[in-house]
């Protein structure tokens, strides 16, 4: 019997479509959390009212290489998918949206923009067009990913009660790249060093068996380079027997692919 068919489910997940909105903003702050990981703040009146009723979603950012004067020009700019991390209004009443970027050299529009765009640079924000809501409290959690999933892991970690069994596993390049993450349990960082992306995370997930399952009816989130999907499914579907509404397992990027579109 799968976990989600137990008599007393402690939670439910719901997918909701949201009204798609497009907003203009500008880059107003940048903070390096490690050499290869930055948090940026976007600001602008268009961001007033930005919100999502759910816990797992993404926006599409549009990155023109200079000022644009029309929405059409902005929409024609290169775009990529990112996770809204925090949003609202500052004490001064300025609307903001914070995002975090894994930097990965010179070969990506978004990574290069996050590292180098001058303060004041324009950016377009589309969405989120859908969201996943977790209602109630899973009796255990597994959150696992590489740097690209840290923003989403932060959002899920904020839902975990202090006493819930939880595993949080994050792959980074080395000890110097461990991005601090607030969570009610210690985060286990694994280091890929010179191996292919996802190798260290996959090895960590492969060691988990039935006895390591956190709780009877846990929620699982796994996202990293596309190859992690096979490993994630082997754990969550085959070894832990979780139904589709108990797991999110996604490739957030694909080695060698520019502007990878994750299957939704």
Ligand X SMILES: Cc1cc2nc3c(=O)[nH]c(=O)nc-3n(C[C@H](O)[C@H](O)[C@H](O)COP(=O)(O)OP(=O)(O)OC[C@H]3O[C@@H](n4cnc5c(N)ncnc54)[C@H](O)[C@@H]3O)c2cc1C
Using CB under 6 A as the criterion, which residues of the chain lie in contact with ligand X when the complex forms?
58, 80-83, 100-102, 104, 107-111, 148, 151, 252-260, 262
Number of residues assigned to the chain: 264
Which lies closer to ligand X via its Cβ, residue 164 or residue 248? Answer: 248
Which lies closer to ligand X via its Cβ, residue 55 or residue 213? Answer: 55
d(CA 81, CA 62): 9
234 contacts 204 by C-beta, under 8 angstroms: no
Exposure string over 13-47, b if 16+ CB within 10 A, otherwise e: beeeeeeeeebbbbbbebeebbebbbbbbbbbebb
d(CA 74, CA 61): 10
Which lies closer to ligand X via its Cβ, residue 44 or residue 111? Answer: 111
Q: Nearest-CA neighbor of 54 among 248, 225, 258?
A: 248
Query: Please, what is the minimum distance in Å from the beta carbon of residue 129 to ligand X?
Result: 11
Which secondary structure element, helix H or strand E, spans residue 171, and what is its range? strand 166-172
d(CA 105, CA 115): 9
Query: Please, what is the minimum distance in Å from the beta carbon of residue 141 to ligand X?
Result: 19
Query: Please, what is the minimum distance in Å from the beta carbon of residue 251 to ligand X?
Result: 7
- Which residue's CB comes closest to ligand X? 108
Which lies closer to ligand X via its Cβ, residue 142 or residue 172? Answer: 172
Burial class (CB in 10 A: 0-12, 13-18, 19+), 239: middle
Query: Please, what is the minimum distance in Å from the beta carbon of residue 170 to ligand X?
Result: 13
Query: Please, what is the minimum distance in Å from the beta carbon of residue 15 to ligand X?
Result: 13
d(CA 87, CA 22): 15
Strand partners of residue 124:
24, 62
59 contacts 65 by C-beta, under 8 angstroms: no
Query: Please, what is the minimum distance in Å from the beta carbon of residue 69 to ligand X?
Result: 24
Which lies closer to ligand X via its Cβ, residue 135 or residue 257? Answer: 257
Which lies closer to ligand X via its Cβ, residue 233 or residue 254? Answer: 254
Query: Please, what is the minimum distance in Å from the beta carbon of residue 137 to ligand X?
Result: 24
Phi–psi pair at 224, nearest 5 degrees: -170, -160
């Amino acid at each position: 019997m799968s976990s989600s068919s137990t008599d007393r489910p402690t939670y439910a997940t719901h997918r909701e479509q949201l009204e798609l909105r497009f907003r203009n903003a500008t880059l107003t702050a940048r903070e390096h959390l490690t050499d290869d990981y930055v948090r940026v703040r976007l600001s602008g009146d268009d961001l007033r009212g930005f919100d999502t009723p759910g816990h797992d979603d993404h926006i599409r950012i549009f990155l023109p290489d200079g000022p644009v004067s029309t929405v059409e020009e902005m929409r024609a700019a290169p775009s990529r998918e990112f996770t809204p991390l925090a949003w609202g209004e500052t004490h001064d009443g300025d609307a903001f949206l914070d995002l975090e970027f894994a930097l990965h050299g010179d070969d990506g529009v978004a990574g290069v923009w996050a590292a180098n765009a001058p303060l004041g640079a324009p950016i377009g924000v589309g969405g989120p067009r859908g969201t996943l809501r977790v209602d109630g409290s899973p009796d255990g959690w597994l959150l696992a990913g590489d740097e690209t999933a840290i923003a989403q892991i932060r959002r899920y970690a904020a839902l975990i009660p202090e006493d819930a069994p939880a595993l949080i596993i994050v792959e980074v390049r080395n000890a110097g790249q461990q991005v601090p993450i607030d969570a009610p349990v210690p985060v286990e960082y694994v280091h890929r060093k010179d191996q292919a992306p996802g190798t260290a995370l996959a090895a960590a997930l492969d060691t988990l068996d039935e006895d390591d399952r956190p709780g009877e009816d846990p929620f699982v989130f796994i996202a990293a380079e596309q190859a992690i999907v096979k490993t994630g499914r082997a754990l969550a579907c085959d070894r832990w027997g979780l139904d589709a509404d108990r797991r999110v397992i996604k490739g957030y990027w694909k080695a060698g692919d520019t502007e990878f579109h994750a299957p939704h």
